[in-house]
Amino acid sequence: MLLIMALCLLCPWIAPYDPYEIGASDPFLGPNRTNWFGTDDLGRDLLSRILYGGRITILVAIAATVIALIIGTAWGLAAGVRRGWLDEALMRTADATMAIPQILFGLVCISAVGASVISLPIVVGILLSPTTARMARSAVVTELSSQYVVAAQASGFTRTRLIWSEVMPNIAPQLLVQLSINAAAAVMLEATLSFIGLGIQPPNASWGTLMLQGYAKIWNTYWFVAFPALAVTITILAFNAYGERIRKDLDSRRSSAHE
């Protein structure tokens, strides 16, 4: 995961060619010694375009993940701490939002605000915030029922001090797991929205945009669509594997604590 992010974010220094240079090589070349991933329909080096497209995809995913974490954590924290009617209202809102397919919701939002590098991570972050809110609320409720919270309250801790000094540090591992899950989902959503033409717009290109362009030329060369799709797949698997590793470590620590 770190290797993928490093390659994409450092692309200006490691990309072999200018990703926007038209006619640098013959169009529709397959992988060769000069162009490792071949070329596109305009003769541009596909490896360079994938690296630069990956930078956009990764940055959008990171921004969307941070937005989802901030909104979702505040959402779930308010529901878990306040409980009562506020808890019901916030969680029913989350359920109603999650009932709408994310792609459909994303299409409506992007159509309303327009597709850009700024609007895309905001929309994707909002789409991912309800699941984060439910996870955060569940973790907060579990921690508030723990014995150490009762002891802290008996010691005179205020609610604000209790939340920030005791509860939040203990739910941080669960939030980290959700962070990796959201990152994988953000990569998929960005690629999907760009693939249907509502994401990153030319001349910029993300992995989803490259897949859209390659799909239109698939009868000329399948490399054009295969390599961006492979980059999306590997990145999603890397984020999910990272989250699964954290979850297993968390479960093993809990088991050791109970023993």
Structure-block tokens of residue 96 = 């109603």
Rounded Cα distance between 1 and 104, Å, is 29
* Domain assignment present for 102: yes
Q: Which residue, 244, 251, 136, is CA-closest to 181?
A: 244
Residue 175 belongs to what H/E stretch? helix 168-195
Cα torsion through 235, 239, 240, 241, rounded to 10: 100
* Domain assignment present for 27: no
Helices 168-195 and 207-216: crossing angle, nearest 10°?
Answer: 20
Rounded Cα distance between 53 and 68, Å, is 22
Residue 254 belongs to what H/E stretch? helix 223-258
CATH of the domain at 190: 1.10.3720.10
Rounded Cα distance between 57 and 68, Å, is 16
Distance of CA 127 to the CA centre of its chain: 11
Rounded Cα distance between 259 and 249, Å, is 15
**pTM (two decimals):** 0.87
Which domain range does residue 132 map to? Answer: 39-258
Per-residue pLDDT of the chain (259 residues), as tens digits, is 889 889 888 988 988 888 888 877 888 888 888 888 888 888 888 999 999 999 999 999 999 999 999 999 999 888 888 777 888 888 888 888 888 888 888 888 888 887 778 888 999 999 999 999 999 988 888 887 777 777 777 777 777 777 887 788 888 888 888 899 999 999 999 999 888 888 888 778 889 999 998 888 888 888 889 999 999 999 999 999 988 888 888 777 766 655 5
204: three-class secondary structure by DSSP: coil
Q: What pLDDT, on a 0 to 100 scale, did the predictor assign at position 203?
A: 77
Q: What pLDDT, on a 0 to 100 scale, did the predictor assign at position 68?
A: 94
Q: What pLDDT, on a 0 to 100 scale, did the predictor assign at position 130?
A: 92
* Domain assignment present for 63: yes
Listing DSSP states for 6-61 in one string gives: HHHHTHHHH-SS-TT-TTSS-TT--S-SSSTT-B-TTS-BHHHHHHHHHHHHHHHH
195: three-class secondary structure by DSSP: helix
- Whether residue 7 contacts residue 14, with contact meaning beta carbons closer than 8 Å, is answered with yes
Distance of CA 146 to the CA centre of its chain: 32
- Whether residue 135 contacts residue 179, with contact meaning beta carbons closer than 8 Å, is answered with no
* Domain assignment present for 7: no
Helices 207-216 and 46-82: crossing angle, nearest 10°?
Answer: 130
**Counted domains in the chain:** 1
Structure-block tokens of residue 101 = 């397919």
Q: What pLDDT, on a 0 to 100 scale, did the predictor assign at position 232?
A: 94
* Domain assignment present for 93: yes
* Domain assignment present for 30: no
* CA distances (Å), origin 87, targets 15, 73, 82, 238, 254: 50, 14, 7, 34, 27
